[in-house]
Amino acid sequence: MSLVSIEDDESIFSFIYRLYLLNGVKKFDHLVNLKGFFIFPARVEFGTEYLFKKVNESQILQALEDSNRIINQGFDVNTFNHPFGLIEELKDFYHLSEKQDIVFGRLVSRERYSVVIKVCLDCIADSLKTNGFGYHKLEWLFEKKCHKHKKPLIIINEGTRMRTVKQLKLALAGKYGSDEDSNGQKIDHLFYTRNLASKKKAAELS
Ligand SMILES: [Zn+2]
């Protein structure tokens, strides 16, 4: 199994998505809602917990914390403000709070929010060049513009979960708007993880 690590400025949604694409998981029910928005706070899909065992837990916590902090900037801070602390955030991520609620006979489900999926195609192109894969940046969860490229971010929303997930996949592979991947098959999985060969090449060129 490929080892995947979270980039410093990567959103938790992006990391889950890349990990799933790499491992052939095709379910995104807890990541993207039926209308094509990220579901916040992020959670894993049932039955995929084992994939995260190979990931440094402090990286997951950091990515959760960062994504929460960034998204909080767009709302009244009191709405979130980590009511449960980091351990509870991690339990929520793995759906463990829900199981606990059932054990204790409580039916407290946490409120979820829709977050618009936005990307900067230039940042993705840069990452494809230097890392060999594209990823979704943390700051795109909240910002409307890419600070690096001084351009408005592109909103990825195709109206449904399936179409949006597919368009996000194309965007991260540097093929946004392309329809050549009608079966979702052609895009090389190496686009979603660190490609050492291309990194070496980039280092040689610089
Ligand atoms: Zn950019």
Domain boundaries, the chain: 12-114, 117-205
| pLDDT above 90 (res 123) | yes
Element (H, E) at 45: none
What is the whole-number distance in angstroms between the Cα of residue 99 and the centre of ligand 1?
Answer: 40
φ, ψ of residue 197 to 5 degrees: the values are -60, -45
| pLDDT above 90 (res 131) | yes
CA dist 8 and 59 (Å) reads 9
Mean pLDDT score, 12-27: 94
The 10s digit of each residue's pLDDT in 96-120 is 876 555 545 454 567 788 999 999 9
| pLDDT above 80 (res 7) | yes
What is the whole-number distance in angstroms between the Cα of residue 92 and the centre of ligand 1?
Answer: 31
What is the residue-wise DSSP string for 152-197?
EPEE---SSHHHHHHHHHHHHTT-TT--S-TTS-SS-GGGGS--HH
What is the whole-number distance in angstroms between the Cα of residue 149 and the centre of ligand 1?
Answer: 5
CA dist 135 and 114 (Å) reads 20
Rounded (5°) CA angle 89-34-139: 50
Select from 170, 180, 140 the least CA-distant residue to 38.
140
Q: What is the pLDDT of residue 195?
A: 45
